[in-house]
Structure 1
Amino acid sequence: MTTGSIGTPQQLRDPNYTPALSQAIPLGIQHVLAMFVSNVTPAIIVAGAAGFGFGSDAGAMGFPDMTYMIQMSMLFAGVATLLQTITLGPVGAALPIVQGTSFAFLPIMIPLVAGKGVDALGALYGGVIIGGLFHALLGTFIGKIRFALPPLVTGLVVMMIGLMLVKVGIQYAAGGVPAKMSGAPEYGSLLNWSAALVVIIVTLGLKFFARGMLAISAVLVGLGVGYLYALMMGMVTVQGISDNWRFAKSFALPEFFKYGFELSAAAVIGFCLMAFVSAVETVGDVSGITKGGAGREATDNEITGATYADGVGTAIAGFFGGMPNTSFSQNVGLIAMTGVMSRHVVTIGAIFLIICGLIPKIGAIIRTIPIEVLGGGVIVMFGMVVAAGISMLSDVAWNRRNMVIFAISLSIGLGLQLEPGAVQHLPDTLRILMTSGLLPAALLAMVLNLVLPQELADESIDEVSGGHAGHGEGSLPHD
């Protein structure tokens, strides 16, 4: 979507400018389309890991809980976005920042709920609430800790998030973890993979060859085409869709402490540590919005307010069964593309999300998406997360010191995630944290970056690179 006659260049760079409703509403919905799939996917993954049902014919098992979690993801993404755009005292940046459920927390959430059903959700949401409050606290000094999180650390963490999750995408495309565990013969079948491949092909085709809103909402359109393919192939039944629609309410308010509140050391520590990563991501997104939309650096008040909104939005969501929130990077790129800096445009998108979150029938329809179709979408999304991390790492000077930090952190973090039995004798809390893979990698990278002497940066890297010299800022060693 182009700016056309939306306003003058000066108006478009002003966060307080409001375009005419005929233009502001489509622009606001465009922001929702850009983030919609990424926003609801973590809730579906967590619900699936807990053992709730997938697809239109999954029966009543977990139906209300999965639908409710999808509903809360939409509702509180909208609420957190309003905190950013409208603000509440010091909370919020008064910028067009779109909030949504963060993939970054999935490596923490999945082990907490895996196979444990609804009984594990109390501890999960206890972690979300405490982690959200800690995240808000980070707003008071976020600017002072940025030195500990250079691109070497943040790029590694983002890349690790994607690497931790690509397995989930492959399992979904093949038929899902329950099918794998039960030894179902259809797991990994050509039919299952064909549904996932349809989504991938349509998504990539639109990303590369379409323009405007079609390109921006490529994953959403890809899932829609995949859904129609699954319907034609008998993977979804009209009766199943009808039952899901009929079973869901037309309107429902969120329930306070729906899943209770339980303090789990693993959940609290995990969410608080990941809050650092999310806070730094938000700082980067705020800077990207002000540079791309207004051609200036973000102010300290904007960064502080955005971090407050991240944490407060997450904590509020936790009280009602919502997922942790963070700023969405894809919407930062959308602002740069449209050139519209208006926070009120994003407010319209937030209101649309809140309306969707109050209508459980929308969550019920989303739940009917076959897991194989969803797998095609998340393969693309998680692969893009890995690519984003690699892009951040391109800003690193690949000298001996940085290669050692990267190598050790990646090896131990990824290794423990791939072989969790290696730490089976640790206490439960520590074992969950270590086998997440992400936390040991992030902590090692931060600590090593702080303690290893900078003098190592000037030394030869032949010893650690097998004789291939580094090539300076922004490049990787190559043959």
Structure 2
Amino acid sequence: MEIVETVETAASVNAKSLEQQEHDLVYQLDGKPRLRTAIPLGMQHVLAMFASNLAPILLIAGACSLNGADTIIMMQCAMFVSGLTTFIQLYPIRLGKRLRIGGNLPIVMGTSFAFVPTATTVAATGGIGAVLGGCLLGSVSEVLIGVFYKYLRKFFPPLVVGSTLITIGINLMSAGAGYFAGGVGSEDYGSIRNLSIAFLVLAIVVLLQRFGKGLFKSSALLIAMVIGYILCAFLGMVDTQAIMEAGWFSVPKPFHFKMTFSIPVTISFAALYITSGLETIGNTSGITMAGFDREATETETSGAILADAGGSILAACFNALPNTAFGQNAGIVSMTKVVNKFCIATGAFILMISGFVPKLGALFAAIPAPVLGGSIISVFSMIIINGIKMIAKAGFSERNVLILGVTFALGLGLAKDPAAVAQLPSAIRFIFSDSVAATCIVAIILNLIFPIKDKEELEKAKAALLDS
């Protein structure tokens, strides 16, 4: 009897030991937890970024007046490329001894909102072909940042990134307001029904972000969209024809749209890729600090930037907007401390598989405008807040205030009046026709013209750069 009890006790202890090992494994970078553990943790990341990953596609498809079928193709490709680029971040491609594409970190990639204002401007004159062509060629600037990161990082302090983020947020707010009211040009634009639905969706996002826990908090956008979607379906506001006609399976096809290229468009997108790269730098450092209690290494940061650039090149070839590291997913890592690559990879795999299901893309393409506006307008405002935070890190010295004043004067002032720059050479005129590109380029130039001289201020700038 005693022998049997001893064996049962040993088995119980062994089972607890295996369970503890499984629990500890998710907090380690490498290792392969069981699927029943990995899949829920991976799905958490997918749910947190799913809506934000597809929303920029809806905005650009609307700006380019694309039909439902083309919009669904873009959504398929966006899901597929985001999953594939996340895989590359998790399991890097090595390029010799020093370089690699991928950070070898739990970084989740998705479609960037930062390119939407410029893409909208380009789409007005050149259509989706010009947008994708600019995204493809402009990515060279981020490739260079990744390759020469060690030498170039000093040229892109928080002042440059912060002012650019603020301009992006301000431009996006107008687009968000248009969707909030029901979509510019709609017959019931600004109606009580549209505004009520949008305010309801926004309220759900705010309440979940403020009081929600765990998955409910990280998936606030998606939950709010689903509730708004169902309400609109009951009110007859959802066009289900495209959903019914969409197939269940289709392979994402590259080069669906014919690209066109021009130097001014390329310059505008190249400036935005700098901001995207710096955003990836910040998220990479945030993940290593939260998950490993250390700064990101030069190799990790360089690899993450190159994966960002490579994913954006893939996105352009696959009819989607550029990718970037998603801050909300870095926030999940910070909150849960789950850094296991295999767990994140299960989510990336699910995201890629979703790209082969056109009906899923059609389901999102049919989201009524007020639902989309109510959910994403808070995202746009957070972009502005993040820009303010970055500028605050740099401080408000006399030099910084001067640079900010001139940057916003030209980027948000002069660039907002096309007639004022109509007599300039075409390349410069095009840059100033887009306030985001103008803000970024002017900020970089002014930081080079007025270098930091004061020793104390220099130390503060270095500390802020490391924090970002």
TM-score under structure 1 length normalisation: 0.86
1:408 — aligned with what? 406
Cα pair 2:115 2:321 within 8 Å, conserved: no
Question: Aligned partners of 2:73, 2:80: CA distance in 1, in Å?
Answer: 10
What SS class does the counterpart of residue 15 from structure 1 fall into?
A: coil
1:129 — aligned with what? 136
1:87 aligns with 2:87: no
| Residues 203 and 175 of structure 1: CA distance in aligned 2, closer, same or farther (over 3 Å) | same
2:435 — aligned with what? 437
2:183 — aligned with what? 176
1:29 aligns with 2:31: no
2:379 — aligned with what? 381
| Residues 210 and 250 of structure 1: CA distance in aligned 2, closer, same or farther (over 3 Å) | same
Higher helix proportion:
2
Cα pair 1:199 1:226 within 8 Å, conserved: yes
- Determine which of 344, 347, 352 is the counterpart of 1:346: 344
What SS class does the counterpart of residue 393 from structure 2 fall into?
A: coil
| Residues 421 and 17 of structure 1: CA distance in aligned 2, closer, same or farther (over 3 Å) | farther
1:15 aligns with 2:33: no
Q: CA deviation at 1:230?
A: 1.7
- Determine which of 67, 70, 73 is the counterpart of 2:75: 70
1:196 — aligned with what? 198
Question: Aligned partners of 2:419, 2:345: CA distance in 1, in Å?
Answer: 47
Deviates more, 1:410-419 or 1:344-353: 410-419
What SS class does the counterpart of residue 394 from structure 2 fall into?
A: coil
Q: How big is each residue's C-alpha offset from its partner over 1:291-345, in whole Å with a ceiling of 9 and x where there is no partner?
A: 1101112112111211111111111221121211111111111101111111111
- Determine which of 99, 103, 111 is the counterpart of 2:113: 103
| Residues 76 and 453 of structure 1: CA distance in aligned 2, closer, same or farther (over 3 Å) | closer
- Determine which of 343, 355, 365 is the counterpart of 2:353: 355
Amino acid at match of 1:247: E
Cα pair 1:104 1:161 within 8 Å, conserved: yes
Amino acid at match of 2:116: L
1:218 aligns with 2:216: no
Deviates more, 1:97-106 or 1:418-427: 418-427
Question: Aligned partners of 2:155, 2:443: CA distance in 1, in Å?
Answer: 10
What SS class does the counterpart of residue 395 from structure 1 fall into?
A: helix
Cα pair 1:400 1:456 within 8 Å, conserved: no
Q: CA deviation at 1:455?
A: 5.0
Runs of 4+ off more than 6 Å: 456-459
Q: CA deviation at 1:417?
A: 4.7
- For structure 1, the residue ranges without an aligned partner over 5 or more in a row are 53-61, 460-472, 475-479
2:4 — aligned with what? none
Give 1 or 2 for the bigger CA radius of gyration.
Answer: 2
Q: Identity of counterpart residues, as a percentage?
A: 36
Amino acid at match of 1:105: F
Question: Aligned partners of 1:6, 1:227: CA distance in 2, in Å?
Answer: 41
Q: CA deviation at 1:105?
A: 1.1
2:7 — aligned with what? none
Deviates more, 1:330-339 or 1:450-459: 450-459
Q: CA deviation at 1:123?
A: 2.0
Question: Aligned partners of 2:422, 2:235: CA distance in 1, in Å?
Answer: 43
Cα pair 2:78 2:355 within 8 Å, conserved: yes
Q: CA deviation at 1:427?
A: 5.1
- Determine which of 292, 317, 335 is the counterpart of 1:294: 292
Q: CA deviation at 1:8?
A: 7.9
What SS class does the counterpart of residue 139 from structure 1 fall into?
A: helix
1:231 aligns with 2:225: no
- Determine which of 355, 363, 380 is the counterpart of 1:365: 363
Q: CA deviation at 1:100?
A: 0.7
| Residues 427 and 369 of structure 1: CA distance in aligned 2, closer, same or farther (over 3 Å) | farther
- Determine which of 261, 264, 274 is the counterpart of 2:262: 264
What SS class does the counterpart of residue 266 from structure 2 fall into?
A: helix
Question: Aligned partners of 1:51, 1:425: CA distance in 2, in Å?
Answer: 30
Q: CA deviation at 1:350?
A: 0.8
2:11 — aligned with what? none
Q: CA deviation at 1:13?
A: 4.6
Q: CA deviation at 1:232?
A: 2.7
| Residues 126 and 300 of structure 1: CA distance in aligned 2, closer, same or farther (over 3 Å) | same
1:162 aligns with 2:169: yes
1:49 aligns with 2:63: yes
Question: Aligned partners of 1:308, 1:43: CA distance in 2, in Å?
Answer: 23
| Residues 457 and 194 of structure 1: CA distance in aligned 2, closer, same or farther (over 3 Å) | farther
1:465 — aligned with what? none
1:421 — aligned with what? 419
| Residues 229 and 421 of structure 1: CA distance in aligned 2, closer, same or farther (over 3 Å) | farther
Q: CA deviation at 1:375?
A: 0.7
Amino acid at match of 2:389: S
Cα pair 2:142 2:273 within 8 Å, conserved: yes
What SS class does the counterpart of residue 100 from structure 1 fall into?
A: strand
Cα pair 2:83 2:348 within 8 Å, conserved: yes
| Residues 357 and 404 of structure 1: CA distance in aligned 2, closer, same or farther (over 3 Å) | same
Cα pair 1:74 1:357 within 8 Å, conserved: yes
Cα pair 1:85 1:92 within 8 Å, conserved: yes
Deviates more, 1:449-458 or 1:101-110: 449-458
TM-score under structure 2 length normalisation: 0.88
What SS class does the counterpart of residue 59 from structure 2 fall into?
A: helix
| Residues 9 and 352 of structure 1: CA distance in aligned 2, closer, same or farther (over 3 Å) | closer
Amino acid at match of 1:233: L
